[in-house]
């Protein structure tokens, strides 16, 4: 009476449940990281194009202004 019993069926079921839950949590974390990385990735935006005179145009204007002095 009072002999301890090793319920290997219950132990095996607990191990299987642990691995199933661990796998689901792993997949959820992986998906959240993928979504977060996609949200942080900047969109492909074209670089802003300068409008106005170029450096050569400005230098030519300075040269012409100095000639006219």
* pLDDT, tens digit, 9 for 90 and up, residues 26-59: 999 999 999 999 888 776 766 777 788 889 999 9
Assigned token pair, 30: 């992986």
| Tokens found for residue 39 | 């949200």
Tokens of 62: 């300075």
Please state the φ and ψ torsions of residue 6, each to the nearest 5 degrees: -95, 110
Confidence at residue 57, expressed as pLDDT on a 0 to 100 scale: 93
Burial class (CB in 10 A: 0-12, 13-18, 19+), 42: exposed
What confidence tens digit (pLDDT) does each residue in 2-22 have?
A: 777 878 898 899 999 999 999
Q: State the Cα–Cα distance between residues 57 and 63, nearest whole angstrom.
A: 10
pTM over 0.95: no
pLDDT bracket for residue 1 (50, 70, 90): low
């Amino acid at each position: 009476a009072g002999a301890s019993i090793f319920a290997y069926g219950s132990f095996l079921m607990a191990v299987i449940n642990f691995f199933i839950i661990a796998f689901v949590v792993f997949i959820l974390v992986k998906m959240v990281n993928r979504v977060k990385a996609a949200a942080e990735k900047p969109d492909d935006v074209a670089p802003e194009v300068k409008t106005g005179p170029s450096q050569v145009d400005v230098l030519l204007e300075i040269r012409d202004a100095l000639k006219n002095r």
